[in-house]
């Protein structure tokens, strides 16, 4: 149903000239994509978002199911996102109230938020019947997991101006990407890719992976 509803918005608005256009790097090509106004009710948080990865994995290890289709699951993720950086969230919330959403998000065609989970959480705090400005990728999370992982990591961790991540989240993220890449790439090539995506040196990524192995 989410795929259908989001596609209806794309078909309805794809020829509008008043909507924003935004460039993203997708499948090694710089593409200009239209920014659509997607109802917040059509979206799902990404429970493996790098900012809260340690917390969701910890809960799942304790046999707690996180079903994002339910109010309980959604509220849990929203609380984790809020608690991850309370002071910064309060400032951003005030800014959104005054000026609206200023940074464009990225979602999959079935509504999973790839970039902008924190912004969507804050918008939901203001008005759950509101909208999320986003580029819509032409795939679901399952259809191209490695490219989506690259995109998310580049946007979330590879940009200096982004809110910095806690160390443990970086270790977990590096290991998560490494596990996805190594079936297809050599160890050295996987580390090189992770370094590029995260905006770090290859030596730093090796430290992340070594630390994760010890943990």
The answer, yes or no, to whether residue 62 has pLDDT greater than 90, is yes
At 63, give phi and psi (nearest 5°). Answer: 70, 25
CA distance 124 to 96: 11
The answer, yes or no, to whether residue 91 has pLDDT greater than 90, is yes
143 within 8 A of 112, measured Cβ to Cβ: no
Residue 144 in 3-state DSSP?
Answer: coil
- Which pair of tokens denotes residue 77? 């993720």
The answer, yes or no, to whether residue 117 has pLDDT greater than 70, is yes
What average pLDDT does range 92-113 have in this prediction? 95
The answer, yes or no, to whether residue 100 has pLDDT greater than 80, is yes
The CA distances from residue 100 to 10, 15, 22, 128, 160, in Å, are 22, 24, 17, 14, 23
- Rounded to the nearest 10 degrees, how much is the dihedral formed by the CA atoms of 189, 192, 194, 200? 170
In this structure, the number of other CB atoms found within 10 A of the CB of residue 20 comes to 12
Please state, rounded to an integer, the average pLDDT across all residues of the chain.
91
pLDDT for the residue 49: 83
pLDDT for the residue 107: 97
Q: Among 17-21, 93-97, 132-136, 154-158, which stretch is predicted with the lowest mean pLDDT?
A: 154-158
Percent of the chain with pLDDT over 70: 96
- The predicted-structure confidence for 29-59, as pLDDT tens digits, reads as follows 889 999 999 999 999 999 988 889 889 999 9
- The predicted-structure confidence for 151-197, as pLDDT tens digits, reads as follows 988 887 755 444 567 888 889 989 999 999 999 899 999 999 999 99
150 within 8 A of 197, measured Cβ to Cβ: yes
What average pLDDT does range 130-138 have in this prediction? 97
Give the pLDDT band (50/70/90) at residue 199. confident
pLDDT for the residue 167: 84
pLDDT for the residue 50: 80
């Amino acid at each position: 149903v989410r795929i259908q509803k989001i596609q209806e918005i794309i078909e309805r608005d794809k020829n509008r000239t008043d909507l924003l256009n935004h460039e993203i790097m997708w499948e090694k090509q710089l593409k200009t994509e239209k920014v659509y106004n997607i109802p917040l009710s059509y979206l799902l948080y990404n429970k493996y978002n790098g900012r809260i990865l340690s917390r969701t994995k910890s809960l799942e290890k304790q046999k707690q199911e996180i079903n994002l289709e339910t109010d309980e699951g959604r509220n849990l993720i929203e609380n984790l996102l809020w608690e991850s950086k309370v002071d910064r969230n309060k400032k951003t919330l005030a800014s959104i109230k005054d000026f609206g959403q200023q940074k464009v998000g990225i979602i999959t065609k079935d509504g999973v938020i790839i970039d902008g989970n924190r912004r969507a959480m804050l918008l939901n705090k203001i008005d759950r019947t509101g909208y999320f400005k986003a580029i819509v990728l032409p795939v679901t999370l399952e259809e191209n997991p490695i490219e989506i992982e690259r995109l998310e990591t580049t946007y979330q961790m590879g940009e200096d101006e982004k809110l910095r991540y806690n160390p443990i989240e970086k270790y977990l993220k590096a290991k998560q990407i490494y596990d996805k890449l190594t079936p297809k790439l050599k160890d050295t090539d996987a580390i090189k890719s992770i370094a590029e995506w995260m905006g770090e040196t290859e030596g730093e990524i090796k430290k992340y992976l070594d630390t994760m192995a010890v943990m």
